[in-house]
Amino acid sequence: MCILGKVHTLKVLTFLLKIVLQCVFSVCVYLAETGIVVNIPTTKAQDGRSAGESGSKLRDEYILRGFNPTRVRPLWNYLGHSGTAIVEFNKDWNGLHNGLLFDKAYTVDGHGKKDWLKKDGPKLGLYGWIARADDYNGDNIIGENLRKTGDLKTIAELTEEEARKQELLVQNLRQLVEEKKKDMKEIEELCSVKSEELNQLMEEKEKNQQKHYRELNAIQERTMSHIQKIVDDHEKLKRLLESERKKLEIKCNELAKREVHNGTERMKLSEDLEQVSIYSLYLSFQDICSRNNWFFSLIRMHLRIALLN
């Protein structure tokens, strides 16, 4: 029970602290992105005008110290370098953070705004602080420059402005996301259409290839069937011729045994042998032609297949 009471008390104190800080910050008026540096050493030139340290050198020094200003701008008037400068930070929360660090560093070092305003003798070294309302409204070179380049804002106003920026950023990002979603949907639809078209083309190509293969197979089958028929007919004629030749040889042998002297029979036998010989030559010629035709048919078939492929 005691622990719960302590936790409750801590929550109440935290809540009250937040209210106090909000009230304090709401009345603190800053040029949050602007710092002031004074007591910059100057020297007199021959023409009587003052010259001082460059802004870029001061900027580099502040960057090394972690303040990260974007620019240090010395203030000049008709007498030359005024010994003061405006330190510009980023116009966001990081810029405010760096500006407060800048202010705190000089305050801790005894070279803040209150230290500069003290009437305690000569001032040595640089003094710096973050610009406030009295600086903005001041009747001097610093006030004149601040009124030209900056606006006074409370912490609450800075918070509201940053919130508006964040809200605008969120809206822009949300709109960008919606546009990208729309673009993505259009791309997906286009891909779906192109994929369907590609599938149809592939199916059509597959059908054409199958048809082509079937036609080639049919041509090959017809060709082989035709070749086989030629071979079979050739073999049949060879067997027939061989049979007739054997018959004539038998007949010649029989006549030789009988010593046939009949001129008519001898003449008839000679004519039959001559016919068999002529027919044999004819078959040989047919065999050569059929082989050549078969060879050229194969060549034509293979050329047709190569062209189709």
Residue with tokens 């009345």: 27
Among 113, 132, 151, the domain boundary falls at 151
* pLDDT level of residue 54 (50, 70, 90 thresholds): confident
Q: For residue 15, what pLDDT is reported?
A: 43
Residues 219 and 142 occupy one common structural domain = no
Q: What is the mean pLDDT of residues 172-190?
A: 90
In this structure, what CATH number is given to the domain that contains residue 92? 3.30.70.2890
pLDDT tops 90 at residue 38: yes
Lowest mean pLDDT among 198-212, 218-232, 257-271: 257-271
Rounded distance between C-alpha atoms, residue 68 and residue 89, angstroms:
7
* pLDDT level of residue 136 (50, 70, 90 thresholds): confident
188 in a domain, yes or no? no
pLDDT tops 70 at residue 203: yes
Q: For residue 228, what pLDDT is reported?
A: 79
* pLDDT level of residue 234 (50, 70, 90 thresholds): confident
Q: For residue 152, what pLDDT is reported?
A: 63
Residues 145 and 220 occupy one common structural domain = no
Express as a percent the part of the chain with pLDDT over 90: 20
Q: For residue 125, what pLDDT is reported?
A: 92
Residues 137 and 9 occupy one common structural domain = yes
Give CA separation, 50 vs 44, 125, 174, in Å. Answer: 5, 18, 55
Q: What is the mean pLDDT of residues 79-97?
A: 88
Most confident listed range (18-22, 56-60, 207-211): 56-60
Rounded distance between C-alpha atoms, residue 19 and residue 21, angstroms:
6
Residues 6 and 100 occupy one common structural domain = yes
Residues 113 and 229 occupy one common structural domain = no
135 in a domain, yes or no? yes
Residues 11 and 99 occupy one common structural domain = yes
Question: Structurally, how many domains does the chain consist of?
Answer: 2
Neighbours of 131 (CB within 10 A): 27
More confident position, 3 or 96: 96
Residues 9 and 139 occupy one common structural domain = yes
Q: pTM for the complete prediction?
A: 0.47
Q: For residue 23, what pLDDT is reported?
A: 41
Q: What is the mean pLDDT of residues 127-154?
A: 85
Residues 50 and 145 occupy one common structural domain = yes
* pLDDT level of residue 71 (50, 70, 90 thresholds): very high
Q: For residue 93, what pLDDT is reported?
A: 78
208: left (phi over 0), alpha (psi -120 to 50) or beta: alpha
Q: What is the mean pLDDT of residues 150-161?
A: 67
Rounded distance between C-alpha atoms, residue 160 and residue 32, angstroms:
14
38 in a domain, yes or no? yes
164 in a domain, yes or no? no
197 in a domain, yes or no? no
Identify which of 133, 58, 66, 55 has the alpha carbon closest to the alpha carbon of residue 105. 66
Amino acid at 109: D
Q: For residue 223, what pLDDT is reported?
A: 78
Among 105, 130, 151, the domain boundary falls at 151
Identify which of 6, 80, 22 has the alpha carbon closest to the alpha carbon of residue 46. 80
68: left (phi over 0), alpha (psi -120 to 50) or beta: left
Express as a percent the part of the chain with pLDDT over 70: 67
Q: For residue 84, what pLDDT is reported?
A: 93
Lowest mean pLDDT among 204-208, 224-228, 246-250, 275-279: 275-279
Lowest mean pLDDT among 14-28, 67-81, 178-192, 216-230: 14-28
Residues 121 and 249 occupy one common structural domain = no
Neighbours of 202 (CB within 10 A): 10
Structure tokens at 152: 């006074």
Residues 118 and 39 occupy one common structural domain = yes
Residues 231 and 116 occupy one common structural domain = no
Give the domain extent around 270: 213-308
pLDDT tops 80 at residue 197: yes
115 in a domain, yes or no? yes
* Four-CA torsion 158, 104, 91, 75, nearest 10 degrees: 120
Residues 125 and 17 occupy one common structural domain = yes
Q: What is the mean pLDDT of residues 96-116?
A: 92
pLDDT in tens, 6-28: 544 555 455 444 444 444 443 44
pLDDT in tens, 243-282: 777 777 777 677 666 554 555 665 666 666 666 565 555 5
Q: What angle do CA 79, 134, 104 make, to 5 degrees?
A: 95
269 in a domain, yes or no? yes
